[in-house]
C-alpha cells in the first residue's frame, strides 16, 4: 500500500510522453488528410518487411516482460529475453534506416521521409531510455533481489508496454495505412 | 557598441532583444521563481510532508534548467547573435532561411532542455500532492497556494511535451533538412506548413500562460484571507474555478491565431470558449473581493502586494475580453494593446504575487523578517510606474501602434504617440530602479548583523508551516502533523485562546 506512490509518478510521466507523441501524430494526420494524393510517391518505396518484424519483436518483448513480472523462478530468463528483444528492435530500426538510405530516401527528401525518420528516431531515443531501465532492473534481479519490488517491476513495465503501443500506432500510421 | 549605427540598436539586434526578453522572463524568471522556488518550498511544508517524493528527480530538474540557461546565455556570444524570431519562434522566420546561424538552434535546444526540466518537476509536484498529504488533509483542506501550484504542474505535465515535439521538429527542419514547417519555394521538396507550428506552439502556449499565473493566483487567494483575518470567501468555489480554468485553458488556444485565416466557424468557437473561461476567473476574482469585504485588514507588505495583484489582474483580465472577440482582435492583434494585456495579467500579477510570497515566506526561509518600511516603499515605487508602463502601452496599442516593430514612427499617424512612449520609458526606468530597494532589503536582511530572529509564526496564520520554527528545519516536521481543519480558520468569535486564528492541527471550533 505504501508503495503505489511511485506508480502515480510513472503514470504522469507516461501522460507527458504520450502528449509528445500525440503531437507528432497530430502533425501526421494533418498532412495525411490535407495531401491531395495519398499515398504520395515516396511512400510506395518504403520497406514494409523490416518494420513488420520490428513490430513482432516489440510485441514479443511485451509478452516476455509480462512473464518476467509474474514468475520468480523464470525471471532471469525472461529478463534476458526482453532485453535482447529490445536490442533487436533497435537493430531493426538501424536496418530500416539503412534500407531507406539505400533506396534513396533521405530525411531531407520531403514531408513524408521527414516524418518517417523523425518519428522513428524519437521513438528509438525513448527505447534507449527503456533499455537503460531494463538494465537497471537486470542489475537488481542479479545483484540485489531484495530491492526488486513489485512496484518497480510494474512501473518499468508500464513504460515498456507504453513504448510498444506507441510503436504499434507509428507502424500502422506510417507503414500500413 | 553598434558603431555603424552611431550607437543606436540596429533592427536585428532589436529583434534579438525582444526575443530574449520574452524567453528569459517566461522560462528563466517566472518559472524558476514561482513554480520552482515557491513550489519546492511551499508544497512539502504546506501539505505536512518532509520532502518532495522524488528528490533525485527534483535535483535533475534543477540541473537541466541550469544547463538550459547556460545554453541560452551562451548563444548571446555567437557571431550571428542569439535567436531573434520572437519568443514564439514562428517559422519561416525561425527556420534556416529566416535565421541562419546557430543562435536560433541553440534557443531551440535550450528550450527543449528546459521542457525536460519542467516535465520532471511536474511529475514530482503532482505525485507529491497526491500521495504525501498529511493525514486529515483532504484536497479541500489544502491551502489555495497548493491548489495553484498543483494545477500548474498538471498543465505543465500535459502541455510542455507538446512544445517539446514542436521544438524538436523545428530543430530537425534546421539541422536535418526536414520540411515540417517549410512550404512553397522554401521547401526543397514535399510541402510542410508554417501554420502547423503556430497550432502546436499555441496548444502549449495558452496553457503556458495559465501555468505562469496559477501559482500567483493561489498565493494571492491565501494571502488575502490571511491579512483580512477571515476565511477565504468561497474557498471551494475558488478551488473549483481554478480547476475549471485549468481544463478550459486547453481549448482556447486559437484566440492567438485569429489572423491566420482559420475558418470563421473555428474562430467563433474559440471566441466563445475564451469568453467562457472568463467566467471562472470572474468567480474567483469576486471571491477575492468577498474575502476582503468587512475584513480586519492588516496592511503589511505581503498584503499590499496581494492587493496590487487584485488591481492589476482585474485590469489585465478585463482587457482580455476585448482580445477574445474576433472582430476586435483583428484590429488589436500584434499591437501594444496585446502587450499591455499580457504584461498586466502575466508580468504584473506574477511579479507582484511573487513579491508578496517572498515577503510572506521570507521568515520561514531565512529566520528573519525583511524590513517593512523598505518593503512598503518598494511596493509603491513599483506599483505606480508599473501602471504607467502598461496602461500607456494599452493606450498606444489601441491607437494602432504595432509591437515588435523596430521603428514604429515611420508611420506618420503614430507620431503623436511619441510623448506617451517616452512616458512609458520613463516609467520603466523608474520601476527598474525601484527593484534595487528590494535587492538591498533582501541581501541586507540575509547577511546583515543584529537582525532580530523571527518567531515561528510572525504573521499569525494557521497553515502547517507556521507551527515549526523559523527558519524551517531540514526535516520540516519532527512528527508528521494530523490536519483537523481548513487553512483559513480565522475570525471565529468562539475562539477563546487569545488568538483570532486556529492552526490546521487543532480541532475545528464551531462558529
- Binning chain B into helix, strand and coil, the percentages to the nearest 5 are 70, 0, 30
To the nearest whole Å, the CA of A31 is away from the closest chain B CA by 8
Residues A62, A156 contacting (CB under 8 angstroms): no
* ∠ Cα B357 B341 B430 (to 5°): 65
Residues B127, A4 contacting (CB under 8 angstroms): no
Tell me the C-alpha distance between B140 and B143, whole Å.
8
ipTM of the complex, rounded to two decimals: 0.90
Q: What is the mean pLDDT of chain A?
A: 89
C-alpha cell at A49: 518487411
Q: Determine whether the interchain pair B158/A15 forms a contact, defined as Cβ–Cβ distance below 8 Å.
A: yes
Q: Determine whether the interchain pair B196/A30 forms a contact, defined as Cβ–Cβ distance below 8 Å.
A: yes
User: Given this structure, which CATH class describes domain A2-176?
Assistant: mainly alpha
The upper half-sphere exposure of residue B267, i.e. CA atoms within 13 Å in the direction of its Cβ, equals: 17
Query: C-alpha distances in angstroms, A159 versus A10, A126, A164, B198, B456?
Result: 8, 10, 9, 30, 44
pLDDT digits (tens, 9 = 90+) for A101-124: 888 888 877 778 888 899 999 999
Tell me the C-alpha distance between B138 and B304, whole Å.
30
Asked if B9 has any chain A CB less than 8 Å from its own CB, the reply is: no
Q: Indicate the residue of A19, A31, A117 with minimum beta-carbon distance to B161.
A: A19
Domain definitions of chain B by residue range: 14-224+470-511
**Closest chain B residue to A17 measured between Cα atoms?**
B161
pLDDT digits (tens, 9 = 90+) for A29-73: 888 887 777 777 656 667 888 999 999 999 999 999 999 999 888
Residues A123, A170 contacting (CB under 8 angstroms): yes
pLDDT above 50 (res B90) = yes
Give B491 or A3, the one with higher predicted confidence: B491
Tell me the C-alpha distance between B76 and B28, whole Å.
15
To the nearest whole Å, the CA of A113 is away from the closest chain B CA by 8
pLDDT digits (tens, 9 = 90+) for A157-168: 999 999 999 999
To the nearest whole Å, the CA of A106 is away from the closest chain B CA by 9
Give me the mean pLDDT over the B391-403 stretch: 95
pLDDT digits (tens, 9 = 90+) for B329-387: 999 999 999 999 999 999 999 999 999 999 999 999 999 999 999 999 999 999 999 99
To the nearest whole Å, the CA of A23 is away from the closest chain B CA by 6
C-alpha cell at B69: 540557461
Cβ pairs A/B, distance under 8 A: 109
Q: Determine whether the interchain pair B162/A19 forms a contact, defined as Cβ–Cβ distance below 8 Å.
A: yes
pLDDT at B33: 95
pLDDT at B104: 93
C-alpha cell at B476: 520540516
Measured over the CA atoms of residue B328, residue B334, residue B340 and residue B342, the dihedral's sign is: positive
pLDDT digits (tens, 9 = 90+) for B220-272: 999 999 999 999 999 999 999 999 999 999 999 999 999 998 899 999 999 99
Asked if B180 has any chain A CB less than 8 Å from its own CB, the reply is: yes
Interface test with B, best of A118, A123, A125 (most B CBs within 10 A): A118
Give A132 or B98, the one with higher predicted confidence: A132
Query: C-alpha distances in angstroms, B439 versus A36, B374, B432, B434, B436?
Result: 60, 10, 11, 9, 5
pLDDT bin (cut points 50, 70, 90) of residue B287 is very high
Asked if B496 has any chain A CB less than 8 Å from its own CB, the reply is: no
Please give the CATH number for the structural domain made up of B14-224+470-511. 1.20.210.10
* ∠ Cα B9 B11 B14 (to 5°): 65
Tell me the C-alpha distance between A117 and B446, whole Å.
54
Which chain B positions have a beta carbon within 8 Å of A126's beta carbon?
none
Distance separating the N- and C-terminal Cα atoms of chain A: 44
**Closest chain B residue to A1 measured between Cα atoms?**
B131
pLDDT at B66: 96
Residues of A with CB under 8 A from a CB of B: 4-6, 8-9, 12-13, 15-17, 19-24, 26-27, 30-31, 34, 40, 42, 107-115, 117-118, 122
Residues A76, A142 contacting (CB under 8 angstroms): yes
Q: Indicate the residue of A6, A27, A122 with minimum beta-carbon distance to B180.
A: A27
Contact partners, residue A78, CB within 8 Å, separation at least 6: A64, A65, A67, A68, A71
Give A157 or A175, the one with higher predicted confidence: A157
Give me the mean pLDDT over the B69-98 stretch: 91
Q: Determine whether the interchain pair B54/A9 forms a contact, defined as Cβ–Cβ distance below 8 Å.
A: yes
Q: Indicate the residue of B54, B157, B200 with minimum beta-carbon distance to A15.
A: B157
Q: Indicate the residue of B127, B132, B187 with minimum beta-carbon distance to A12.
A: B127
Q: Determine whether the interchain pair B188/A20 forms a contact, defined as Cβ–Cβ distance below 8 Å.
A: no
In the beta sheet, which residues pair with residue B335? B402
Tell me the C-alpha distance between B253 and B129, whole Å.
28
Tell me the C-alpha distance between B116 and A17, whole Å.
10
To the nearest whole Å, the CA of B335 is away from the closest chain A CA by 30
C-alpha cell at A88: 533487436
Domain definitions of chain A by residue range: 2-176
**Closest chain A residue to B155 measured between Cα atoms?**
A16
Rg, C-alpha atoms of chain A: 18
Residues A126, A163 contacting (CB under 8 angstroms): yes
Q: What is the mean pLDDT of chain B?
A: 93
Contact partners, residue B208, CB within 8 Å, separation at least 6: B26, B155, B159, B160, B163
DSSP-derived secondary structure letter, B483: -
DSSP-derived secondary structure letter, B385: H
pLDDT above 90 covers a percentage of chain B that reads 86
For chain B, how long is the longest CA-to-CA vector? 79
Tell me the C-alpha distance between A75 and A82, whole Å.
10
CB count within 10 Å of CB B59 equals 11
User: What are the φ and ψ backbone dihedral angles of B477, each rounded to 5 degrees?
Assistant: -115, 130
DSSP-derived secondary structure letter, B408: G
pLDDT at A1: 45
Asked if B182 has any chain A CB less than 8 Å from its own CB, the reply is: no
Tell me the C-alpha distance between B399 and B336, whole Å.
9
Contact partners, residue A114, CB within 8 Å, separation at least 6: A107, A108, B172, B178, B179, B180, B190, B192
- Burial of residue B173 (CB within 10 Å: 0-12, 13-18, 19+) is buried
Q: Determine whether the interchain pair A30/B132 forms a contact, defined as Cβ–Cβ distance below 8 Å.
A: no
pLDDT above 90 covers a percentage of chain A that reads 59
Averaging pLDDT over each range in A92-106, A137-151, B48-62, which range is the top one?
B48-62
Give me the mean pLDDT over the B1-8 stretch: 80
Residues A65, A78 contacting (CB under 8 angstroms): yes
To the nearest whole Å, the CA of B150 is away from the closest chain A CA by 13
C-alpha cell at B433: 530602479
Which chain B positions have a beta carbon within 8 Å of A20's beta carbon?
161-162, 164-165
In the beta sheet, which residues pair with residue B453? B368
Give me the mean pLDDT over the B52-69 stretch: 95
Contact partners, residue B68, CB within 8 Å, separation at least 6: B27, B110, B111, B113, B114, B117
**Closest chain B residue to A117 measured between Cα atoms?**
B178
Q: Which of B449, B451, B335 is nearest to B393 (CA)?
A: B335
DSSP of chain A: -GGGHHHHHHHHHHHHHHHHHHHHHHHHHHHHHH-SSSS-HHHHTS--HHHHHHHHHHHHHHHHHHHHHH-STTHHHHHHHHHHHHHHHHHHHHHHHHHHHHTT--GGG-HHHHHHHHHHHHHHHHHHHHHHHHHHHHHHHHH-GGG--HHHHHHHHHHHHHHHHHHHHHHIIIII-
To the nearest whole Å, the CA of B298 is away from the closest chain A CA by 41
To the nearest whole Å, the CA of B119 is away from the closest chain A CA by 7
DSSP of B290-338: HHHTT------HHHHHHHHHHHHHHHHHHHHHHHHSHHHHHHHTTBHHH
Which chain A positions have a beta carbon within 8 Å of B178's beta carbon?
107-108, 113-114, 117-118
Measured over the CA atoms of residue B483, residue B488, residue B492 and residue B496, the dihedral's sign is: positive
Amino acid at each position: 500500500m505504501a508503495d503505489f506512490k511511485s506508480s502515480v509518478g510513472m503514470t504522469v510521466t507516461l501522460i507527458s510522453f504520450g502528449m509528445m507523441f500525440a503531437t507528432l501524430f497530430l502533425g501526421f494526420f494533418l498532412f495525411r488528410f490535407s495531401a491531395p494524393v495519398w499515398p504520395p510517391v515516396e511512400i510506395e518505396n518504403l520497406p514494409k518487411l523490416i518494420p513488420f518484424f520490428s513490430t513482432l519483436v516489440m510485441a514479443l518483448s511485451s509478452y516476455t516482460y509480462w512473464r518476467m513480472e509474474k514468475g520468480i523462478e523464470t525471471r532471469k530468463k525472461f529478463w534476458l529475453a526482453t532485453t535482447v528483444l529490445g536490442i533487436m528492435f533497435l537493430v531493426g530500426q538501424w536496418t530500416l534506416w539503412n534500407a531507406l538510405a539505400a533506396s534513396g530516401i533521405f530525411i531531407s527528401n520531403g514531408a513524408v521521409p521527414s516524418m518517417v525518420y523523425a518519428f522513428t528516431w524519437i521513438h528509438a531515443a525513448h527505447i534507449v531510455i527503456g533499455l537503460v531501465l531494463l538494465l537497471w532492473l537486470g542489475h537488481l534481479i542479479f545483484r540485489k533481489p531484495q530491492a526488486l519490488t513489485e512496484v518497480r517491476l510494474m512501473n518499468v513495465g508500464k513504460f515498456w508496454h507504453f513504448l510498444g503501443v506507441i510503436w504499434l500506432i507509428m507502424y500502422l500510421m506510417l507503414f500500413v495505412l | 557598441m553598434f558603431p555603424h549605427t552611431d550607437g543606436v540598436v540596429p533592427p536585428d539586434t532589436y529583434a534579438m532583444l525582444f526575443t530574449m526578453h520574452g524567453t528569459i522572463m517566461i522560462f528563466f524568471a517566472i518559472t524558476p521563481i514561482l513554480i520552482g522556488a515557491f513550489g519546492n518550498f511551499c508544497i512539502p511544508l504546506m501539505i505536512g510532508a518532509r520532502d518532495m517524493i522524488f528528490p533525485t528527480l527534483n535535483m535533475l530538474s534543477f540541473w537541466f534548467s541550469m544547463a538550459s540557461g547556460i545554453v541560452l546565455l551562451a548563444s548571446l556570444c555567437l557571431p550571428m547573435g542569439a535567436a531573434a524570431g520572437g519568443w514564439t519562434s514562428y517559422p519561416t522566420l525561425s527556420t534556416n532561411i529566416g535565421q541562419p546561424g546557430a543562435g536560433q538552434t541553440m534557443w531551440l535546444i535550450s528550450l527543449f532542455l528546459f521542457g525536460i526540466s519542467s516535465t520532471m518537476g511536474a511529475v514530482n509536484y503532482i505525485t507529491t500532492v497526491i500521495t504525501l498529504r498529511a493525514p486529515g488533509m483532504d484536497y479541500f483542506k489544502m491551502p489555495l497556494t497548493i491548489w495553484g501550484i498543483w494545477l500548474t504542474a498538471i498543465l505543465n505535465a500535459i502541455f510542455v511535451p507538446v512544445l517539446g515535439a514542436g521544438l524538436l521538429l523545428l530543430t530537425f527542419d534546421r539541422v536535418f533538412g526536414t520540411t515540417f514547417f517549410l512550404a512553397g519555394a522554401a521547401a526543397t521538396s514535399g510541402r510542410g506548413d508554417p501554420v502547423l507550428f503556430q497550432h502546436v506552439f499555441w496548444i502549449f502556449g495558452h496553457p503556458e500562460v495559465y501555468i505562469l499565473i496559477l501559482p500567483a493566483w493561489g498565493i494571492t487567494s491565501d494571502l488575502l484571507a490571511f491579512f483580512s483575518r477571515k476565511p477565504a470567501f468561497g474557498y471551494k468555489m475558488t478551488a473549483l474555478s481554478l480547476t475549471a480554468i485549468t481544463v478550459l485553458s486547453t481549448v482556447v488556444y486559437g484566440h492567438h491565431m485569429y489572423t491566420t485565416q482559420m475558418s470563421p466557424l473555428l474562430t467563433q468557437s474559440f471566441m466563445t470558449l475564451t469568453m467562457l473561461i472568463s467566467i471562472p476567473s470572474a468567480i474567483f476574482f469576486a471571491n477575492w473581493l468577498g474575502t476582503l469585504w468587512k475584513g480586519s485588514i492588516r496592511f503589511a507588505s505581503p498584503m499590499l502586494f496581494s492587493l496590487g495583484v487584485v488591481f492589476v489582474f482585474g485590469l489585465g483580465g478585463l482587457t482580455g475580453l476585448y482580445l477574445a472577440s474576433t472582430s476586435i482582435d483583428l484590429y488589436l492583434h500584434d499591437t501594444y494593446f496585446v502587450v499591455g494585456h499580457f504584461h498586466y495579467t502575466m508580468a504584473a500579477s506574477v511579479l507582484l504575487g511573487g513579491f508578496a510570497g517572498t515577503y510572506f515566506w521570507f521568515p520561514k526561509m531565512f529566520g528573519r523578517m525583511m524590513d517593512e518600511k523598505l518593503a512598503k516603499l518598494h511596493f509603491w515605487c513599483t506599483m505606480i510606474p508599473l501602471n504607467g508602463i502598461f496602461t500607456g502601452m494599452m493606450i498606444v496599442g489601441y491607437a494602432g501602434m504595432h509591437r515588435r516593430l523596430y521603428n514604429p514612427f515611420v508611420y506618420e499617424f503614430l507620431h503623436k504617440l511619441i510623448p506617451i512612449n517616452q512616458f512609458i520609458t520613463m516609467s520603466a526606468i523608474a520601476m527598474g530602479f525601484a527593484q534595487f530597494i528590494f535587492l538591498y532589503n533582501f541581501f541586507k536582511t540575509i547577511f546583515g548583523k543584529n537582525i532580530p530572529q523571527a518567531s515561528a509564526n510572525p504573521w499569525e496564520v494557521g497553515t502547517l508551516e507556521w507551527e515549526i520554527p523559523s527558519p524551517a528545519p531540514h526535516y520540516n516536521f519532527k512528527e508528521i502533523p494530523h490536519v483537523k481543519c481548513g487553512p483559513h480558520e480565522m475570525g471565529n468569535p468562539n475562539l477563546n485562546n487569545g488568538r483570532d486564528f486556529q492552526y490546521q492541527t487543532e480541532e475545528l471550533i464551531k462558529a
